[in-house]
């Protein structure tokens, strides 16, 4: 007996289905707050050229995991990311999968969620956005950057407060 799974959500060209997403931890709530801000407000125009926003998944890469741990970065897991915000589908992919997607579909921007620090009153989250170029791309991108956002806890919700630092190219 052979079973063919034609609608699996595995591999570089499909996304996990996290439709029942409910942020539980403070980190997940802060991740949701920043992703909601990115998806619903002006800015990040190169990232939002399509309705798919890719986020790099470093959880399977042991070297990256160790580097992230050394730098106090939060390692994003699939359960940390909602399936959709507004018109945007959010998709967690490894660097290898991002490269395969770029090679097949063309150059695109992706997000990298970095260090998260939380205390009782404030939460900070570092977001980077970078280009994933095709292996044989004719372009070298200088567009991208790193921004640290500060959120304030108001009545149990993370509300954007200010940008505490930003480096853009």
- Alpha carbons 106 and 89: distance in angstroms, whole number: 18
pLDDT(103) > 70: yes
Q: What is the DSSP string of 47-104?
A: TTSSSEEEEE--TT-HHHHHHHHHTTB----GGGS-SEETTEEEEEE-HHHHHHHHHH
Amino acid 12: pLDDT: 59
Of 167 and 142, which is predicted with more confidence? 167
Span of 24-38, 74-88, 147-161 with lowest mean pLDDT: 74-88
The mean per-residue pLDDT over the stretch 32-55 comes to 91
For the chain, what is the mean pLDDT?
Answer: 84
* Range with top average pLDDT, 4-8, 70-74, 151-155: 151-155
Of 63 and 101, which is predicted with more confidence? 101
Which is it for the CA torsion 41, 74, 158, 33, positive or negative? positive
Give the pTM. Answer: 0.83
């Amino acid at each position: 007996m052979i079973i063919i799974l034609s609608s699996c959500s595995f591999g570089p060209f499909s996304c996990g289905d996290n439709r029942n997403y409910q942020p539980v931890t403070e980190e997940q709530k802060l991740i949701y707050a920043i992703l909601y801000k990115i998806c619903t407000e002006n800015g990040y125009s190169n990232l939002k050229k399509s309705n798919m926003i890719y986020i790099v998944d470093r959880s399977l890469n042991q070297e990256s995991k160790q580097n992230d741990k050394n730098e106090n970065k939060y390692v994003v897991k699939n359960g940390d990311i909602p399936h959709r915000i507004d018109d945007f589908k959010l998709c967690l992919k490894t660097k290898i999968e991002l490269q395969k997607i770029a090679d097949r579909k063309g150059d695109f921007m992706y997000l990298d969620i970095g260090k998260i620090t939380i205390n009782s009153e404030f939460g900070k989250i570092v977001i980077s956005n970078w280009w994933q170029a095709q292996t044989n791309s004719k372009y070298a991108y200088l567009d991208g950057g790193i921004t640290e956002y500060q959120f304030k806890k108001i009545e149990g919700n993370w509300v954007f407060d200010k940008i505490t630092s930003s480096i853009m190219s």
